[in-house]
Amino acid sequence: MNMAMQQFKAEFFKALAHPLRIRILEILADGNKSVNEIQQLAESEGSAVSQQLTVLRSKNIVTGSKEGNRVIYSLRDPMIIDLLDVAKKIFNNQLSETITILDRLNEDEK
């Protein structure tokens, strides 16, 4: 694979590497939202949400468009939703494997 693509992927995943950014993307997966709506749904301070939206915008992961005096945010590419779903499945698979290992260890101790 070409180095430019690897660099792009590394930067892309760095942009996702924050729990509030992931939460914002999950919120936007349900539809376009204003900053105030995102703040309420994320149960986070305005400055933190704005800061994370700035990172997501700078990496072209979300877009913002003006509607009157509000900015409405949306996912730039709906495939982000698929990516988050795959990440959740990977997490669930790893968790299931860990539970299986723990169950076996508990059985061996009996």
User: Which tens digit of pLDDT belongs to each residue from 65-86?
Assistant: 999 999 999 999 999 999 999 9
- Among residues 69, 78, 36, 67, the alpha carbon closest in space to that of 53 is found at 36
Q: Which helix (H) or strand (E) holds 102?
A: helix 79-109
Residue 53 main-chain phi, psi, to 5 deg: -65, -35
Q: Do residues 37 and 46 make contact, with C-beta atoms less than 8 angstroms apart?
A: no
Does residue 1 have a pLDDT over 90? no
Q: Is the pLDDT of residue 110 over 80?
A: no
Task: Give 106 or 53, the one with higher predicted confidence.
Answer: 53
Average pLDDT, the chain: 91
Answer whether residue 109 shows pLDDT above 80.
Answer: no
Q: What is the Cα–Cα distance from 47 to 87, expressed in whole angstroms?
A: 27
Amino acid (1-letter code) at residue 33? K
Residue 99 has a pLDDT of 82
Residues 66 and 35 sit within 8 Å (Cβ to Cβ):
no
Sign of the alpha-carbon dihedral angle for 36, 40, 42, 44: positive
Question: Which residues sit opposite 70 in a β-bridge?
Answer: 67
